Amino acid sequence: MKKRLYLELENCIGCRSCLAACTQCGGHEERNRNYVYDVNPLVNRQTMPLMCLHCVNPACARSCPAQAIQIHETGAVLSALVEKCIGCQNCTIACPYGIPKFDTEQNLMYKCDLCIDRSKDGIPPMCASVCPTNTLQWLTDEEIEAKQKQFNLDNGKWVTSMPYLEGETNVRVNLPGILQGVTKLF
Protein backbone atom coordinates (compact mmCIF):
# COMPACT_ATOMS: atom_id res chain seq x y z
CA MET A 1 0.00 0.00 0.00
CA LYS A 2 1.63 3.22 -1.13
CA LYS A 3 1.66 5.85 1.55
CA ARG A 4 2.57 9.49 1.36
CA LEU A 5 3.88 12.06 3.74
CA TYR A 6 1.03 14.41 4.50
CA LEU A 7 1.38 17.73 6.29
CA GLU A 8 -1.34 19.46 8.29
CA LEU A 9 0.55 22.66 8.79
CA GLU A 10 -1.61 24.35 11.41
CA ASN A 11 -1.15 21.52 13.92
CA CYS A 12 2.52 22.39 14.42
CA ILE A 13 3.47 23.50 17.93
CA GLY A 14 7.14 24.09 17.15
CA CYS A 15 8.54 21.31 19.33
CA ARG A 16 11.15 20.45 16.68
CA SER A 17 10.86 16.74 17.36
CA CYS A 18 10.98 16.24 13.60
CA LEU A 19 14.37 17.94 13.42
CA ALA A 20 15.74 15.79 16.23
CA ALA A 21 14.28 12.61 14.75
CA CYS A 22 15.74 13.47 11.34
CA THR A 23 19.26 13.48 12.78
CA GLN A 24 18.72 9.94 14.03
CA CYS A 25 17.87 8.37 10.67
CA GLY A 26 20.50 5.87 9.53
CA GLY A 27 21.97 7.65 6.55
CA HIS A 28 21.61 11.19 7.84
CA GLU A 29 24.87 11.25 9.83
CA GLU A 30 23.28 13.21 12.66
CA ARG A 31 22.38 16.21 10.57
CA ASN A 32 18.77 17.21 10.15
CA ARG A 33 17.40 18.03 6.75
CA ASN A 34 14.10 19.71 7.60
CA TYR A 35 13.02 23.08 8.97
CA VAL A 36 10.51 24.58 11.39
CA TYR A 37 9.56 28.23 10.91
CA ASP A 38 7.81 30.84 12.99
CA VAL A 39 5.02 32.13 10.83
CA ASN A 40 4.79 35.61 12.35
CA PRO A 41 7.45 35.62 15.04
CA LEU A 42 6.81 39.08 16.52
CA VAL A 43 3.08 38.55 16.77
CA ASN A 44 2.18 34.98 17.69
CA ARG A 45 3.59 31.52 18.36
CA GLN A 46 2.31 29.70 15.28
CA THR A 47 4.99 27.56 13.62
CA MET A 48 5.03 25.45 10.49
CA PRO A 49 7.37 22.70 9.37
CA LEU A 50 8.99 22.83 5.98
CA MET A 51 10.61 19.86 4.36
CA CYS A 52 11.38 18.55 0.93
CA LEU A 53 8.05 18.07 -0.82
CA HIS A 54 9.48 15.56 -3.32
CA CYS A 55 8.39 17.23 -6.54
CA VAL A 56 7.19 15.03 -9.36
CA ASN A 57 9.42 17.09 -11.69
CA PRO A 58 12.20 18.11 -9.30
CA ALA A 59 14.12 21.27 -10.18
CA CYS A 60 17.11 20.14 -8.11
CA ALA A 61 17.58 16.97 -10.18
CA ARG A 62 16.97 18.84 -13.44
CA SER A 63 19.68 21.36 -12.62
CA CYS A 64 22.24 18.79 -11.44
CA PRO A 65 25.12 18.50 -13.92
CA ALA A 66 26.30 15.20 -12.45
CA GLN A 67 22.99 13.30 -12.29
CA ALA A 68 23.71 12.90 -8.59
CA ILE A 69 20.10 13.41 -7.48
CA GLN A 70 18.17 10.27 -8.27
CA ILE A 71 14.45 9.71 -8.06
CA HIS A 72 13.48 6.53 -6.25
CA GLU A 73 10.76 4.29 -7.63
CA THR A 74 8.56 5.36 -4.70
CA GLY A 75 8.79 8.94 -5.98
CA ALA A 76 11.19 10.11 -3.28
CA VAL A 77 13.80 12.56 -4.58
CA LEU A 78 16.97 11.22 -3.01
CA SER A 79 19.88 13.04 -1.44
CA ALA A 80 22.93 13.48 -3.70
CA LEU A 81 24.85 10.29 -4.43
CA VAL A 82 28.11 10.79 -2.55
CA GLU A 83 30.28 9.54 -5.39
CA LYS A 84 28.63 11.69 -8.02
CA CYS A 85 28.00 15.06 -6.34
CA ILE A 86 30.59 17.54 -7.65
CA GLY A 87 29.66 20.30 -5.23
CA CYS A 88 28.41 22.93 -7.69
CA GLN A 89 25.37 23.81 -5.53
CA ASN A 90 23.09 24.23 -8.54
CA CYS A 91 20.41 22.29 -6.68
CA THR A 92 20.33 24.74 -3.78
CA ILE A 93 19.75 27.58 -6.23
CA ALA A 94 17.19 25.65 -8.26
CA CYS A 95 14.98 24.35 -5.45
CA PRO A 96 11.87 26.56 -5.22
CA TYR A 97 11.60 25.86 -1.49
CA GLY A 98 15.27 26.29 -0.51
CA ILE A 99 15.55 22.77 0.91
CA PRO A 100 18.96 21.27 -0.06
CA LYS A 101 21.76 21.91 2.41
CA PHE A 102 25.41 22.02 1.45
CA ASP A 103 28.51 20.95 3.34
CA THR A 104 31.49 22.92 2.03
CA GLU A 105 34.11 20.74 3.75
CA GLN A 106 32.71 17.51 2.40
CA ASN A 107 31.88 19.14 -0.93
CA LEU A 108 28.51 17.43 -0.74
CA MET A 109 24.85 18.36 -0.89
CA TYR A 110 22.42 16.62 1.43
CA LYS A 111 18.67 16.80 1.57
CA CYS A 112 15.60 14.93 2.81
CA ASP A 113 15.36 11.49 1.22
CA LEU A 114 12.11 10.61 3.02
CA CYS A 115 14.26 8.22 5.10
CA ILE A 116 14.34 5.97 2.06
CA ASP A 117 15.67 2.99 4.01
CA ARG A 118 12.43 3.12 6.01
CA SER A 119 9.86 4.47 3.56
CA LYS A 120 10.75 2.05 0.77
CA ASP A 121 9.44 -0.68 3.06
CA GLY A 122 6.36 1.32 4.03
CA ILE A 123 7.73 2.45 7.38
CA PRO A 124 7.01 6.15 8.00
CA PRO A 125 9.96 8.55 7.81
CA MET A 126 11.49 9.55 11.15
CA CYS A 127 9.81 12.96 11.27
CA ALA A 128 6.33 11.54 10.73
CA SER A 129 6.85 8.77 13.25
CA VAL A 130 7.68 11.18 16.09
CA CYS A 131 5.41 14.15 15.40
CA PRO A 132 3.27 14.52 18.57
CA THR A 133 0.55 16.67 17.00
CA ASN A 134 -0.08 14.84 13.72
CA THR A 135 1.35 17.68 11.72
CA LEU A 136 3.36 15.11 9.81
CA GLN A 137 1.47 11.96 8.92
CA TRP A 138 2.09 8.90 6.80
CA LEU A 139 -1.13 8.09 4.98
CA THR A 140 -2.53 6.23 2.01
CA ASP A 141 -4.25 8.16 -0.74
CA GLU A 142 -7.63 6.89 0.53
CA GLU A 143 -6.92 8.19 4.01
CA ILE A 144 -5.92 11.56 2.58
CA GLU A 145 -9.19 11.61 0.64
CA ALA A 146 -11.10 10.77 3.81
CA LYS A 147 -9.37 13.70 5.55
CA GLN A 148 -10.55 15.91 2.75
CA LYS A 149 -14.17 14.79 3.24
CA GLN A 150 -13.89 15.14 7.00
CA PHE A 151 -13.09 18.82 6.79
CA ASN A 152 -15.55 19.21 3.96
CA LEU A 153 -14.49 22.48 2.45
CA ASP A 154 -16.20 23.23 -0.83
CA ASN A 155 -13.82 25.78 -2.26
CA GLY A 156 -11.84 23.07 -4.07
CA LYS A 157 -8.63 24.30 -2.48
CA TRP A 158 -8.34 21.91 0.39
CA VAL A 159 -5.07 20.43 -0.72
CA THR A 160 -2.57 23.18 -1.34
CA SER A 161 -0.27 21.01 -3.35
CA MET A 162 -1.14 22.68 -6.60
CA PRO A 163 -2.31 26.26 -6.06
CA TYR A 164 0.19 27.10 -3.30
CA LEU A 165 3.16 25.12 -4.58
CA GLU A 166 5.18 25.43 -7.76
CA GLY A 167 4.34 22.04 -9.17
CA GLU A 168 2.92 18.63 -8.40
CA THR A 169 4.56 17.03 -5.37
CA ASN A 170 4.59 13.59 -3.85
CA VAL A 171 4.15 15.03 -0.36
CA ARG A 172 0.65 16.40 0.24
CA VAL A 173 0.21 19.67 2.11
CA ASN A 174 -3.19 20.79 3.33
CA LEU A 175 -4.47 24.34 3.40
CA PRO A 176 -4.18 25.58 6.95
CA GLY A 177 -7.39 26.00 8.85
CA ILE A 178 -6.09 29.30 10.18
CA LEU A 179 -6.21 30.82 6.74
CA GLN A 180 -9.79 29.66 6.25
CA GLY A 181 -11.01 30.64 9.70
CA VAL A 182 -11.85 27.04 10.54
CA THR A 183 -11.38 25.85 14.12
CA LYS A 184 -10.36 22.26 14.36
CA LEU A 185 -11.63 19.93 17.01
CA PHE A 186 -9.11 17.36 18.08
Partner 1 sequence: MESTISTTKKPGLTVNDAFASHFAKSMFLTVAGLAILTFIGTRMFTHIDLNLYGYMVGTIVFIGGFFYRFIAWGERPPTKIFIKKGLKLLFRKSTPKTTTEQLVTYRFIWERGVYRWMQHILIGWGCVLACLVTFPLVFSWMYFTMKENGYYTIVLFGMNVMNVKAEGIIAWFSYNALNIAAIMVIAGVCMVLYRRLKNMQARAEQTFMYDFLPLYLLLFISITGLLLTFQNMVLHGWMQPQMSLIHQFSVIVTLIYLPFGKLAHIPFRPMSVFARNYREHYSEQHMKECKVCGDQFVSVEQSSDVIQVLGVNDIEFNMNDGFNLAELCLPCRRKYRISRFSGVATHQVKVKEANQNANG
Q: Which residues bind partner 1 (CB under 8 A)?
A: 9, 16, 19-20, 22-23, 26-27, 31-32, 35-42, 46, 48, 50, 57, 59, 62-67, 82-84, 86-90, 92-99, 103, 105-108, 116-117, 120, 160, 164-167, 173, 176, 178-179
Q: How far is the CB of 21 from partner 1 (least distance, A)?
A: 8
Q: How far is the CB of 111 from partner 1 (least distance, A)?
A: 12
Q: How far is the CB of 164 from partner 1 (least distance, A)?
A: 5
Q: Which is nearer to partner 1, 142 or 171 (CB)?
A: 171
Q: Which is nearer to partner 1, 142 or 167 (CB)?
A: 167
3-state secondary structure 16-68: CHHHHHHHCCHHHCCCCCCEEEECCCCCCCCEEEECCCCECCCHHHHHCCCCC
Q: Which is nearer to partner 1, 113 or 142 (CB)?
A: 113
Nearest to 127, CA basis, from 113, 144, 109, 108: 113
Q: Which is nearer to partner 1, 83 or 142 (CB)?
A: 83
CB 150 within 8 A of CB 159: no
- Residue 147's contacts (CB-CB under 8 Å, 6 or more residues apart) are 6, 139, 174
Three-state DSSP at 131 gives coil
Q: How far is the CB of 184 from partner 1 (least distance, A)?
A: 15
CA distances for 65 relative to 62, 87, 90, 95, 135, angstroms: 8, 10, 8, 14, 35
Q: Which is nearer to partner 1, 120 or 144 (CB)?
A: 120
Q: How far is the CB of 102 from partner 1 (least distance, A)?
A: 9
